[in-house]
Chain A
Amino acid sequence: MDHAATTPTHPEVLEVMKPYFTDHFGNPSSIHYYGREAKKAIDSARDTIAASIGARSEEIVFTSGGTEADNFALEGVAYANENKGNHIISSPIEHHAVTNCLGFLEKRGFKVTFVKVDSSGLVDPEDIKKAMTDKTILVSVMHANNEIGTIEPVAEIGKICREKNVYFHTDAVQTFGHMPIDVNKLNIDLLSASAHKLYGPKGVGMLYIRKGVKIVPFIYGGEQERGMRASTENVPGIVGFAKAVEMAVNELDNESRIRKLRDRLIEGILSKIDDSILNGHPTLRLANNVNVSIKYIEGESMLLNLDLEGIAASTGSACSSGSLEPSHVLLSIGLSPDVAHSSLRLTIGRSTKESEIDKVLEVLPKIVSKLRSMSPLAKK
């Protein structure tokens, strides 16, 4: 029930990766047979991944993961377009891979405007338009939020950016491989994705960079990735990533099964547990995401109890992260700190069975009543 954190590498993905650790261990930059085999594998992986989002192969740069792709996009575009302007627009609910990178850029003299989100976590594209100045060089709004699952109106935001001649980046780590994405229809200039969220291996991701986008390289060294991201390629990872994408495309139909499980879980929790609320948008929502606040009890104590029952989950409570601040996403949608501390995220995966949903609905109300019986905040 924590598939938004990561997914297991699919056995078929692992199988196609294996030979690239052993028989085809070559360095793609080498001229000889072994090198050529590795190069061929990367080229073919690039083709597969590009085709899955309607991009051209040369527009894909492999990275070490989603975080690197986000950092690359933001820093790369910021530094390449400094002469045009220093203003960036983003949302307050981005992943830390974006917010902390923007924080760094702010220290380096860039100005960042965070537009507000509504109580369901939606960005209003009009707010993006209003925030634009003649110094704006980049807009970065995630495709869907990792905590509350809200799907942002990226096509509209992208359209505004296109009209204003401003680059549009989206962090699609939660959606790539889970929803159909066409970078042309969605007016996306840069898109970050990660393999391990779609049953691929950890340690590999990619940045889509539309041809013509002005961007500086992220890692300097050799000529790998057209000089944009030097370092010997993670050949097995890239091969596995492509296989995972290939499989994800075939699995897209399965998302409706996952969506049904999600709705059953949401309805079950809200009807069985008093003073529970859904966080995020009811319909514009990732098919696998359930995020609720169960008032008067704290998130980590729920997680530990669920863990004792063999159920893995996640929370936006500070107690789980080591800081005292609860999730910036939950505060941005207007939750009070105590309700944010009471959040519980359950994310469904391909392997999740109906019986597992039933088990959560059976054990969670018991856990809640136990914790509420010891909470000074609970109603008498």
Chain B
Amino acid sequence: MPAGYSDKVMDHFAHPRNVGVIENPSGVGKVGNPICGDIMEMFIKVENNIITDAKFRTFGCGAAIATSSMATEMIKGKSIEEALELTNKAVAEALDGLPPVKMHCSVLAEDAVRAAIDDYLKKTTGKGLPGFKPHEEGEHEH
């Protein structure tokens, strides 16, 4: 396995925050595919435009689990607009960095958040996130 996981990655991997599902979520996003070995599912609860709760389930490596965990932490309590500003780099930085081959996991986490918000917007406004399209596995850097 690639060496060089930070202590923070290992902490979020060994003790992931916000694991699970939200019953009747405001939005759900599922990204990744089993061929590439990672699937993330993210649930959000939104009240008055604020993400009051976020949970995830992930099939994937240590970095995939840690980035999912960190992403849920970072969007909780944020407005939809603020959550949309979350970038994969910010997730990686919050984890004190990721090995280069694992950067795609942080892209997946960003996508999962956006997919959940896209779903929420579709449900509430009938229109999804403008221009939202999850990254294709394999096209991003890894």
Which A residues are closer than 8 A to B by beta carbons? 296-301, 303-305, 308, 315, 317-320, 322, 324, 326, 336-338, 341, 373-377
17 further contact pairs, Cβ within 8 A, besides A304-B13, A308-B14, A374-B16: A297-B59, A298-B37, A300-B1, A304-B1, A304-B5, A304-B14, A320-B1, A322-B142, A324-B137, A336-B34, A338-B37, A374-B57, A375-B59, A376-B39, A376-B41, A376-B57, A376-B59
Q: Please, which residues of chain B bring their CB within 8 A of the CB of A376?
A: 30, 39-41, 57-59
Q: Is the interface of B mostly helix, strand, loop or mixed?
A: mixed
Pair A301/B101 contact, Cβ less than 8 Å: no
Q: Is B37 a contact of A318 with CB atoms below 8 Å? A: yes
* Minimum CB distance partner of A380 in chain B: B21
Total contacting residues, chain B, CB less than 8 A: 33
Q: Given that A304-B1, A322-B2, A376-B30 are known contacts, is A296 also in contact with B38, CB under 8 Å in the complex?
A: no
Candidates A308, A320, A374; contact of B61 at CB < 8 Å: A320
Report the minimum CB–CB distance from B86 to chain A (whole Å).
21
A373 near B38: Cβ-Cβ < 8 Å:
no
CB distance from A332 to the nearest CB of B (A): 16
| Option from A301, A341, A373, A375 in Cβ contact (under 8 Å) with B62 | A301
Residue from the list A322, A326, A375 in contact with B57, Cβ < 8 A:
A375
Contact of A377 among B14, B59, B138 (CB under 8 A): B59
In the bound complex, residues from chain A placing their C-beta under 8 Å from that of B14 are 304-305, 308
Closest to A324 in B: B36
In the complex with contacts A304-B13, A374-B16, A374-B65, A319-B59 CB distance below 8 A? no
Q: How far is the CA of A319 from the CA of B101 in the complex (A)?
A: 9
- Asked, given contacts A303-B1, A322-B2, A324-B138, whether A337 binds B57 with beta carbons under 8 Å apart, the answer is no
- Separation of A377 and B34 alpha carbons in the complex (Å): 9
B60: interface (CB < 8 Å): yes
Q: Which residue in chain A gives the minimum CB-CB distance to B56?
A: A374
Inter-chain contacts of A305 with B (CB < 8 A)? 14
B residues near A301, Cβ cutoff 8 Å: 13, 60-62, 64-65
Q: Are B19 and A373 in contact (CB under 8 A)?
A: yes
Contacts of B101 in A (CB 8 A): 322
* Residues of B close to A373: CB separation below 8 A: 19
B interface residue numbers (CB < 8 A to A): 1-2, 5, 10, 13-14, 16, 19-20, 30, 34-41, 56-65, 101, 104, 137-138, 142
Which residue in B2, B35, B64 is a CB contact (below 8 Å) of A337? Answer: B35
CA distance A317 to B34 in the complex (A): 11
Query: Which residue in chain B gives the minimum CB-CB distance to A375?
Result: B59
Closest chain B residue, CB of each to CB of A303: B1
Chain A residues with CB under 8 A of B13: 301, 304
Residue of A nearest to B60 (CB): A298
Are the CB atoms of A326 and B37 closer together than 8 Å? yes
Instruction: Across the A-B interface, give the 8 residue pairs with the lowest CB-CB distance, nearest first.
Output: A319-B61, A338-B34, A322-B101, A300-B61, A341-B37, A376-B41, A337-B35, A376-B57
Known: A301-B13, A324-B138. A317 touches B57 (CB 8 A): no
Task: State the CA gap A308–B58 with chains docked (Å).
Answer: 20
- Distance in angstroms between the alpha carbons of A308 and B1 in the assembled complex: 14
Is the CB–CB distance between A298 and B59 below 8 Å?
yes
A-B contact pairs, 15 of them (CB 8 A): A296-B59, A299-B61, A301-B60, A301-B65, A303-B1, A320-B61, A322-B101, A324-B138, A338-B37, A341-B34, A374-B56, A374-B57, A374-B58, A376-B41, A376-B59
B2 to chain A, nearest CB (A): 6
CA distance A317 to B56 in the complex (A): 22
Chain B residues contacting A304 (CB-CB under 8 Å) are 1, 5, 10, 13-14, 61-62
Set of chain B residues within 8 Å of A341, measured between Cβ atoms: 34, 37
Measured between beta carbons, the chain B residues less than 8 angstroms from A375 are 57-59
Q: Report B-chain residues with C-beta under 8 Å of the C-beta of A374.
A: 16, 19-20, 56-58, 65
Q: How far is the CB of B102 from chain A (nearest CB, A)?
A: 8
Query: CA of A317 to CA of B96 in the docked complex: distance in angstroms?
Result: 25
- Closest partner residue, chain B, to A339 (CB atom): B34
Tell me the bound Cα distance from A129 to B13 in angstroms. 50
Complex CA distance for A376 and B58, rounded to whole angstroms: 6
Query: Is B64 touching A298 in the complex (CB atoms < 8 A)?
Result: yes
Cross-chain contact of A319 among B16, B19, B60 (Cβ < 8 A): B60
Q: Which residues of A contact B60 (CB under 8 A)?
A: 298, 301, 319
Bound-complex Cα distance A305 to B15 (A): 11
CA A301 – CA B59 in complex, angstroms?
Answer: 9
Q: Which residue of A lies closest to B9 (CB)?
A: A304
Report B-chain residues with C-beta under 8 Å of the C-beta of A298: 37-38, 59-61, 64
How far does the Cβ of A303 sit from chain B's closest Cβ, in whole Å?
A: 6
In the complex, A38→B57 CA distance in Å? 61
Distance in Å: Cβ of B136 to nearest Cβ of chain A:
11
Roughly how many angstroms separate A235 CA and B78 CA in the complex, as a whole number? 66
